[in-house]
Amino acid sequence: AQSVTQPDIHITVSEGASLELRCNYSYGATPYLFWYVQSPGQGLQLLLKYFSGDTLVQGIKGFEAEFKRSQSSFNLRKPSVHWSDAAEYFCAVETRDDKIIFGKGTRLHILP
């Protein structure tokens, strides 16, 4: 069965530090992969998506993610976080029957 695992429930980094949020998926074919961000009281916002081609994907707000087929991973990175990046981040995969399966999320805390 298709699944998405985000192993870190909470991550805390200092403002200005680099960030990497981990995501592993289980899927039999080349997946469509997504990262969404959810701020308190806000809807989910798409940060970036991977369908095919270049495995390093650039997104909004300075985020990027790298698709690694050999590791079944799609980790999200940002070189320098800002206090406004504090939010919950969801990795997601689109399945063969066009459903989107979300991970359980990683809550990012930023230290001043």
Partner 1 sequence: GAGVSQSPRYKVAKRGQDVALRCDPISGHVSLFWYQQALGQGPEFLTYFQNEAQLDKSGLPSDRFFAERPEGSVSTLKIQRTQQEDSAVYLCASSPLGRTDTQYFGPGTRLTVL
Contact flag: residue 3 with partner 1 (CB under 8 A): no
Contact flag: residue 98 with partner 1 (CB under 8 A): yes
Residues 53 to 82: which contact partner 1 by CB under 8 A? none
23 contacts: CB under 8 Å, gap ≥ 6: 4, 5, 6, 33, 35, 73, 74, 75, 76, 91, 103
Candidates 10, 96, 104, 109: give the one binding partner 1 (CB under 8 A): 104
CA distance 103 to 47: 15
Identity of the residue numbered 55: T
Q: Could you tell me how many residues of this chain bind partner 1 (CB under 8 A)? A: 23
Q: List % helix, strand, coil for the chain (3-state, nearest 5).
A: 10, 55, 40
| Between 4 and 87, CB nearer to partner 1 | 4
Contact flag: residue 51 with partner 1 (CB under 8 A): yes
| Between 81 and 92, CB nearer to partner 1 | 92
Under 8 Å between Cβ of 26 and 3: yes
| Between 52 and 70, CB nearer to partner 1 | 52
- Closest approach of partner 1 to the CB of residue 42, in Å: 6
